[in-house]
């Protein structure tokens, strides 16, 4: 049976056939035919954003919290260029999203037409793949292929650019199952000999550690389950990157906490001192490795990754295993069990004793205050008052993000949405809306800094319009906190442009948007204020006035190895030039 | 120190286990990249090289299978073994890339380039140019009373040598295709 339809209708039909329920977008001249089709149906919900960057971050939040592909729809020219930051963010963090862009009609391409931009040219380096569709007959297949590419292998953002005349023209619709996708099929099964080698190493290692990343979460819930099983059965310690939080539960007995530049002392020293490092879906990012030359110098390294270019890119590994984390862990568990579930029972207790000694350093300690709200305290209270709830957390970028990673605990995957690789200030608010749209009844909190939050605050309008009761928990220190911290520690305390002046009154701002505003300045009233936020049925902007000069510790200054970590007490000595620990 | 019976760095991830992947010495490698012949694929490949700071010494591209929509890109690049491996991995994960072959690493290969070389002059230099062209098996594809255009194929080194010899004899212009390369044997 052939089905003739316009390109615009094809877009909507293809989205429906791909199981899309919601599209985040903003209309404009070059996508009007698609918007006309969206108007005439009820299966797909359209969330009107206030800025295209917001649409892409919402799609990211939606994708990361559901495991499905998030979809954004924007117009040509400025609509497309505004999507670039979100696309780059999704590429760095391997988030599957599809961005549909309108384009000037094919006969106008190249004439510098109104709202024309070379969208596929601009977005080529910031998408996993992109397409300009010049023929309606190829449109539906291209969209289906785009979904496949976004999901398959290492997930990522894709973009389909659709000229306006292609939207108007009519052709035959091709269903997803008739679409050719076999040209892109990354290998998911790992090499069995290599996996066996890994198991042999697991059996004899004296000081092993699992170093897990976002790949575990991208691989799906089964991968997280398999990781838990393997970690718990072997009794090995496990740490995670920022992107991987929740894959292994923070309440689990083998959990060391996050590693990296602001990771926990015990996690970083265990990485430095281990004799077997098992990297599961992480990529040796520079925020993790510090100085590459001195990274975990005495360990044998295994690396499970689906992306061949992640292996040996930064750190040379001894046992590379190319494949999907879930498949490889499943095989590893099978082989390890079949060989008798062996681990080095003599050495492991000594290793744990060493780790527990490091733990006693209590690297997240901070000086409490009765007068001002310490940001760490605010997050401890937020954690305590929301524990056990159906909770999703997004963040902006900066100190608050690192504190959130340190002080909030995640027991499940897909509960933590943050901009890791690109470090996009302005990510958290729109991402929280995307999460809330996917999980209407859940508690969704964006832990923010006031500076980041202002970057996309227009999206509060979206939250109001679509009744997304997102809680904006702003740790307001009237500073660009992380910039200020680096200036204090590394730039002679010259605070160049790192304070937030002329800030809005956040409570009045909330009122202006029609939502609830809460300000809290006193640690004694903080609990009540947080409970008030949680109780309110609707969006809240929470202006939490925190200590202005708090620094985020531990900290490995960039370019230093893991064992040269700064703890809060060391900071003064560091400024005077000493190298510590 | 470690109970683990493994020599660090002993397992290379690539098929070329004999190479020292820790070497800091730059090598020249010729890669054959089979890609989907679609708009933008060349830009995608070139963008990878410029975006990640890799070198391109030579690059050629043409469709090689019309019905299958396949093009072949031959790229000559330079880098340490680790960089070469990374280039190969980065190329092979691209969606429209079907195959990547490191011809330098995979075994003996033939490399050929075509050049058109214009030399102008009269008298003795002109005769000398013609004589040298014969030695180099370059053929004359255009001739006037005071110029020749030579066509020659060969390795890049051979073309370099010929061009160098033509320089004092009135070399005017040179156009080169870049390297096409193929592994020897079946």
Q: What is the pLDDT of residue B11?
A: 39
Q: What is the pLDDT of residue B24?
A: 85
Contact of B82 with chain A, judged by CB distance below 8 Å, is answered with yes
Which among B13, B86, B93 is the nearest to A320, CB-wise?
Answer: B13
Sort A385 into a burial class: Cβ within 10 Å, 0-12 / 13-18 / 19+.
Answer: middle
Q: Is A426 left (phi over 0), alpha (psi -120 to 50) or beta?
A: left
Cβ contacts of B15 on chain A, cutoff 8 Å: none
**CB contact (8 A) between residue A275 and residue B89:** no
Report the relative pairing of strands A157-163 and A129-132 from DSSP bridges.
parallel
Instruction: Return the CA Rg of chain B.
Output: 21
Using an 8 Å Cβ cutoff, are A168 and A39 in contact? no
Q: What is the pLDDT of residue B176?
A: 97
Cβ contacts of A298 on chain B, cutoff 8 Å: 1-2
Choice among A10, A18, A37, A52 that is catalytic? A52
Q: What is the pLDDT of residues A351-382, one digit of tens each?
A: 999 999 999 999 999 999 999 999 999 999 99
Q: Which residues contact B166 (CB under 8 A, 6 or more apart)?
A: B117, B119, B129, B132, B150
**CB contact (8 A) between residue B11 and residue A120:** no
Using an 8 Å Cβ cutoff, are A176 and A17 in contact? yes
CA neighbor of A317 nearest in space, from B14, B178, B146: B14
Q: What is the pLDDT of residue B1?
A: 37
Q: What is the pLDDT of residues A476-485, one digit of tens each?
A: 999 999 999 9
Share of chain A above pLDDT 90, in %: 93
Q: What is the pLDDT of residue B9?
A: 41
Sign of CA dihedral A291, A296, A300, A306: negative
CB atoms closer than 10 angstroms to residue A58: 34
Q: What is the pLDDT of residue A564?
A: 85
CA angle A78, A81, A87 (to 5 degrees): 145
CB atoms closer than 10 angstroms to residue B19: 16
Using an 8 Å Cβ cutoff, are A103 and A76 in contact? yes
Q: Please give the mean pLDDT across all residues of chain A.
A: 96
Whether residue A136 is predicted with pLDDT greater than 80 in this model: the reply is yes
CA separation for the pair A159, A499 (Å, rounded): 37
| Chain A residue closest in CA terms to B10 | A318
Using an 8 Å Cβ cutoff, are A196 and A227 in contact? no
Q: What is the pLDDT of residues A137-164, one digit of tens each?
A: 999 999 999 999 999 999 999 999 999 9
Report the relative pairing of strands A471-476 and A540-545 from DSSP bridges.
parallel
Q: HSE on the CB side for B28, CA within 13 Å?
A: 8
Q: What is the pLDDT of residue A571?
A: 61
Q: HSE on the CB side for A44, CA within 13 Å?
A: 28
Q: HSE on the CB side for A528, CA within 13 Å?
A: 7
Cβ contacts of A318 on chain B, cutoff 8 Å: 6, 8-11
CA angle A252, A258, A261 (to 5 degrees): 170
Sort A496 into a burial class: Cβ within 10 Å, 0-12 / 13-18 / 19+.
Answer: exposed
CA of B28 to nearest chain A CA: how many angstroms apart? 19
CA neighbor of B74 nearest in space, from B85, B86, B64: B64
Q: Which residues contact A564 (CB under 8 A, 6 or more apart)?
A: A290, A556, A557, A579, A580, A581
CA of A495 to nearest chain B CA: how many angstroms apart? 33
Query: 315-374 in A: which are within 8 Å (CB) of B?
Result: 316-320, 322, 344, 347
Contact of B51 with chain A, judged by CB distance below 8 Å, is answered with yes
**Structural tokens at position A285:** 């990012």
| Chain B residue closest in CA terms to A301 | B8
Using an 8 Å Cβ cutoff, are B159 and B113 in contact? yes
Contact of B186 with chain A, judged by CB distance below 8 Å, is answered with no
Whether residue A559 is predicted with pLDDT greater than 70 in this model: the reply is yes
Residues A312-316 have a mean pLDDT of 94
Report the relative pairing of strands A238-240 and A208-212 from DSSP bridges.
parallel
Catalytic status, residue A164: yes
The enclosing H or E element of A541 equals strand A540-545
Whether residue A437 is predicted with pLDDT greater than 60 in this model: the reply is yes
Q: What is the pLDDT of residues A68-116, one digit of tens each?
A: 999 999 999 999 999 999 999 999 999 999 999 999 999 999 999 999 9
**Structural tokens at position B129:** 């140019």
* SS3 annotation, chain B: CCCCCCCCCCCCCCCCCCCCCCCCCCEEEEEEEEEECCCCHHHHHHHHHHHCCCCCCEEEEEEEECCCCEEEEEEEEEECHHHHHHHHHHHHCCCCEEEEEEHHHHCCEEEEEEEEEEEECCCHHHHHHHHHHHHCCCEEEEEECCEEEEEEEECHHHHHHHHHHHHHHCEEEEEECCCEEEECCC
Which among B6, B40, B93 is the nearest to A318, CB-wise?
Answer: B6
**CB contact (8 A) between residue B95 and residue A154:** no
ipTM here: 0.89
Cβ contacts of A322 on chain B, cutoff 8 Å: 13
Whether residue A2 is predicted with pLDDT greater than 90 in this model: the reply is no
Contact of B43 with chain A, judged by CB distance below 8 Å, is answered with yes
SS3 A121: helix
Q: What is the pLDDT of residues A199-250, one digit of tens each?
A: 999 999 999 999 999 999 999 999 999 999 999 999 999 999 999 999 999 9
Extract the residue ranges of chain B whose pLDDT is less than 50: 1-3, 5-18
Whether residue A1 is predicted with pLDDT greater than 70 in this model: the reply is no
Which among A128, A311, A318 is the nearest to B8, CB-wise?
Answer: A318
**Residue of A308, A319, A320, A344 to mutate for B, most B C-beta atoms under 10 A:** A308
CA of B54 to nearest chain A CA: how many angstroms apart? 13
Whether residue A406 is predicted with pLDDT greater than 60 in this model: the reply is yes
């Amino acid at each position: 049976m052939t089905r003739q339809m316009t390109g615009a209708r094809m877009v909507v039909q293809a989205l429906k056939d791909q199981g899309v329920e919601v599209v985040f977008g903003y209309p404009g001249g070059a996508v009007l035919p698609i918007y006309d089709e969206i108007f005439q149906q009820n299966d797909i919900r359209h969330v009107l954003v206030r800025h295209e960057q917001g649409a892409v971050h919402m799609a990211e939040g939606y994708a990361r919290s559901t495991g499905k592909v998030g979809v954004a729809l924007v117009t040509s020219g400025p609509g497309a260029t505004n999507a670039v930051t979100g696309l780059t963010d999704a590429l760095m963090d391997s988030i599957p999203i599809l961005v549909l862009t309108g384009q000037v009609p094919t006969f106008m391409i190249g004439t510098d037409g109104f709202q024309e931009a070379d969208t596929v040219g601009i977005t080529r380096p910031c998408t996993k793949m992109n397409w300009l569709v010049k023929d309606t007959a190829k449109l539906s297949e291209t969209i289906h292929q785009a979904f496949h590419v976004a999901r398959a292998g290492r997930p990522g953002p894709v973009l389909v650019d659709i000229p306006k005349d292609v939207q108007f023209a009519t052709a035959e619709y091709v269903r997803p199952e008739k679409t050719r996708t076999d040209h892109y099929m990354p290998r998911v099964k790992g090499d069995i000999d290599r996996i066996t080698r890994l198991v042999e190493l697991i059996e004899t290692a004296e000081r092993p550690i699992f170093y897990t990343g976002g790949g575990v979460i991208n691989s799906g819930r089964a991968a997280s389950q398999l990781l838990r099983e393997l970690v718990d059965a072997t009794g090995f310690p496990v740490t995670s990157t920022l992107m991987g939080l929740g894959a292994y539960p923070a309440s689990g007995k083998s959990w060391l906490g996050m590693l990296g530049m602001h990771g926990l002392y015990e996690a970083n020293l265990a990485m430095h001192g281990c004799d077997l490092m098992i990297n599961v879906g992480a990529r040796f990012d520079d925020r993790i490795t510090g100085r590459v030359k001195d990274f975990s110098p005495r360990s044998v390294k295994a690396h499970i990754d689906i992306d061949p270019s992640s292996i040996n890119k930064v750190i040379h590994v001894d046992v590379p295993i190319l494949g999907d984390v879930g498949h490889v862990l499943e095989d590893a568990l099978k082989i390890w069990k079949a060989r008798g579930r062996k681990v080095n029972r003599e050495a492991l207790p000594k290793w744990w004793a060493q780790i527990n000694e490091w733990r006693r350093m209590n690297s997240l300690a901070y000086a409490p205050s009765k007068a001002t709200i310490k940001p760490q305290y605010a997050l401890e209270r937020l954690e305590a008052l929301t524990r056990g709830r159906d909770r999703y957390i997004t963040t902006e970028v900066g100190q608050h993000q690192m504190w959130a990673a340190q002080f909030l605990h995640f027991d499940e995957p897909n509960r933590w949405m943050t901009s890791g690789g690109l470090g996009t200030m302005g990510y958290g608010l729109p991402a929280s809306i995307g999460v809330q749209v996917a999980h209407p009844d859940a508690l969704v909190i964006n832990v923010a800094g006031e500076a980041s939050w202002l970057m996309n605050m227009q999206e509060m309008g979206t939250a109001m319009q679509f009744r997304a009761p997102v809680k904006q928990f702003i740790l307001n220190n009237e500073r660009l906190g992380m910039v200020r911290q680096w200036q204090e520690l590394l730039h002679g305390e010259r605070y160049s442009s790192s304070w937030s002046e002329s800030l809005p009154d956040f409570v009045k701002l909330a009122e202006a948007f029609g939502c609830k505003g809460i300000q809290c300045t006193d640690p004694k009233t903080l609990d009540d204020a947080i409970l008030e936020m949680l109780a309110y049925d609707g969006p809240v902007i929470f202006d939490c006035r925190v200590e202005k000069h708090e620094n985020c510790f531990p900290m490995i200054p960039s370019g230093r190895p893991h064992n040269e970590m700064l703890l809060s007490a060391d900071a003064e000595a560091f400024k005077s030039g000493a190298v510590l620990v | 120190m470690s109970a683990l019976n493994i020599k660090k760095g002993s397992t290379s991830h690539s098929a070329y286990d004999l190479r020292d992947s820790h070497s800091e010495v730059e090598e020249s490698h010729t890669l054959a990249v089979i890609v989907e012949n679609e708009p933008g694929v060349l830009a995608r490949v070139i963008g990878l090289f410029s975006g990640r700071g890799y070198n391109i010494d030579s690059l050629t591209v043409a469709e090689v299978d019309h019905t299958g929509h396949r093009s072949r890109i031959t790229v000559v690049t330079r880098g340490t073994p680790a960089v070469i491996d990374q280039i190969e991995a980065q190329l092979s994960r691209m969606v429209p890339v079907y195959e990547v072959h490191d011809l330098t690493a995979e075994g003996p290969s033939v490399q050929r380039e075509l050049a058109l070389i214009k030399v102008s002059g009269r008298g003795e230099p002109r005769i000398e140019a013609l004589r040298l062209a014969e030695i180099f098996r370059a053929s004359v594809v255009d001739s006037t009373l005071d110029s020749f255009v030579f066509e020659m194929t060969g390795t890049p080194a051979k073309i370099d040598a010929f061009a160098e010899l033509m320089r004092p004899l009135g070399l005017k212009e040179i156009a080169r295709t870049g390297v096409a390369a193929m592994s020897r044997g079946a």
